[in-house]
Amino acid sequence: MTIYIALLRGINVGKNNRIKMADLKDLFETIGLTKVKTYIQSGNVLFEAKEEAKQLSQRLEGEISKTFGFPVPVILRTAEEYEQMIRDCPYSMKSLKEGESIQLAFLADEPSQENVNLLRNYESDPDECFIKGKEVYLFLRQSILDSKLAAQLPKLGVQATVRNWKTVIKLSTMVKEMIN
């Protein structure tokens, strides 16, 4: 069995695409996934499954759409990928000043170099990023809501969902609890 972290994009933001985490957990269990746990309302689900990520992601997207009536992109990482991604972060939480943050954009696929170059055009003094594989590490010196760089993530041409570093670390802790 593989431990997965599912990161759902665009649910429970404002009044649209509302899904209760208890209902999401029930759905995951109903379709045969085990050890299902959710974390906060933004759509983070940990679970175990035997399936490969690509097929599993498509199946989850289909089941969520069928059950809740709207499409929701689902980005998956295995526990091993997730832990490597944390080790790869080039920014330190210890050096953050007031108002600064580290955000992580999880991508559904690796972007083309051409699209990476388009995003890099929006790096500026307040914001910078580090891109490795299917992750974009954002170091923001202002609110993510004010970030021109974060707003340009769609230029990568692949589905993306963003989590703050505190959430990233909490999910890692939950993965470790599942393993032990």
Using pLDDT thresholds of 50, 70 and 90, give the confidence band for residue 61.
very high
Is there a single domain that holds both residue 75 and residue 120?
Answer: no
Asked whether residue 12 carries a pLDDT value surpassing 80, the answer given is no
Q: Give pLDDT, residue 10.
A: 77
Average pLDDT of the segment spanning 148-158: 94
Q: Kindly tell me the sign of the dihedral angle through the C-alpha atoms of 85, 83, 146, 39.
A: positive
Question: Residue 134: which pLDDT band, with cuts at 50, 70 and 90?
Answer: very high
Task: Tell me, yes or no, whether 33 and 109 share the same domain.
Answer: no
CATH of the domain at 40: 3.30.70.1280
Instruction: Provide the 8-state DSSP code for 96.
Output: P
Whether 75 and 91 share a structural domain:
no
Structural domain containing residue 174: 84-179
* pLDDT reported for residue 180: 77
pLDDT-derived band at 76, boundaries 50, 70, 90: very high
Q: What is the pTM of this model?
A: 0.93
Residue range 123-143: mean pLDDT, rounded:
91
Strands 127-132 and 34-39: unpaired
In degrees and rounded to multiples of 5, residue 76 shows phi and psi of -110, 145
In DSSP terms, 7 is beta-bridged to 44, 75
